[in-house]
Amino acid sequence: MRQGTLEVEPGIRIAYAIQGSDGPALVVPNGSWVAAPMRPLGVGRRIVSYDLRGRGRSSPVEDRSRLGVGFDVADLEALRRHLDLDRPSVLGHSYSSAVALLHALEHPHAVARLVLVGAFAARRIPWHDTEMPTLGEMIRPPGSTRLGALRAGKVHRSDPRTYAREWMRHYLLPQQLARKENVDLVPLDACDLPNEFPERWIPDWLERIYPSLGDWDWRPRLPSLDLPVLLAWGQTERGAPEVEQEWLSGLQHGELLVVPDAGHWPFCENPDAFFPAVERFLSQPSRAP
């Protein structure tokens, strides 16, 4: 494995890793969380994973005005150019699917294929119109006896790695997975990184990154995307049928993958269904730019 960093702005570096040396490239943002589970896709291709600015092994971002989706899109293109990647495929999970989509829309000849896993709806209203939890509710989830006891014991300060893991296990993952017992299927090594401590990344997400998306509506731009796009959702995460239809009716070459017995982490919860389908999609002949 080859590792490195790229300075995308003065004092802001993003960390990346390259697995394999031959074959077409698959770029995977949010690498500290997603790269290890994506290893089954590494046969015959290079997996180029990286951490978004301020996340994972990338450098912290002290000036929070330098955080937002526009910066993340620019960083993806900067890394692509830095590594001289000629039309890689890009796999984005969760928020990174928005980064991958917007990058492809802004650089239509720079990407061969898109895999969007657990993507947001193509427009915010009405599908994402519910009120977000407050910072306090996310960092100190009400009703969680386990996390309340840890915070009472100041574990979030004395052992933030342990608290980050328990926060994922007892708060975030149970909301995202098809079954609570599946929490052990999601690797939590990223929780050992200071950028992934809840007190570090949640304020950035709530106050800078998610608001930077605004009242998005990508539907008018989707027809211009002349490349294959695979939309993958776990069965329990599927929204209203209209959400999928808005994506598929707008994309020229859109495909849908629904992974049974899975939620927001289908590649961890049901890899036997997820990876063969994604492999078939990625292995199809590339379209001419």
Q: Which of 210, 233, 268 is the last residue of a domain?
A: 210
Clarify whether residues 99 and 182 are in a common domain: no
Clarify whether residues 95 and 161 are in a common domain: no
Clarify whether residues 114 and 174 are in a common domain: no
Residue 288 lies in a domain: no
Clarify whether residues 108 and 22 are in a common domain: yes
Clarify whether residues 54 and 163 are in a common domain: no
Residue 197 lies in a domain: yes
Clarify whether residues 107 and 9 are in a common domain: yes
Clarify whether residues 35 and 102 are in a common domain: yes
Clarify whether residues 113 and 33 are in a common domain: yes
Clarify whether residues 41 and 125 are in a common domain: yes
- Residue 96 to residue 65: CA distance in whole angstroms: 19
Residue 227 lies in a domain: yes
Give the per-residue pLDDT at 288.
61
Residue 289 lies in a domain: no
Clarify whether residues 159 and 222 are in a common domain: no
Q: Which of 193, 210, 227 is the last residue of a domain?
A: 210
pLDDT per residue as tens, the chain (289 positions): 899 999 999 999 999 999 987 899 999 999 999 999 999 999 999 999 999 999 999 999 999 999 999 999 999 999 999 999 999 999 999 999 999 999 999 999 999 999 999 999 999 999 998 888 999 999 889 888 999 999 999 999 999 999 999 999 999 999 999 999 999 999 999 999 999 999 999 999 999 999 999 999 999 999 999 999 999 999 999 989 999 999 999 999 999 999 999 999 999 999 999 999 999 999 998 766 6
Residue 12 lies in a domain: yes
Clarify whether residues 113 and 230 are in a common domain: yes
Give the per-residue pLDDT at 132.
86
Give the per-residue pLDDT at 142.
87
Based on the structure, what is the number of domains in the chain?
Answer: 2
Residue 95 lies in a domain: yes
Query: Residue 104 is part of a domain; what is its CATH number?
Result: 3.40.50.1820
Clarify whether residues 247 and 115 are in a common domain: yes
Give the per-residue pLDDT at 287.
66
Q: Containing domain of residue 108, as a range?
A: 2-129+213-283
- Using CB atoms within 10 Å of the CB of residue 194, give its burial: 0 to 12 exposed, 13 to 18 middle, 19+ buried: middle
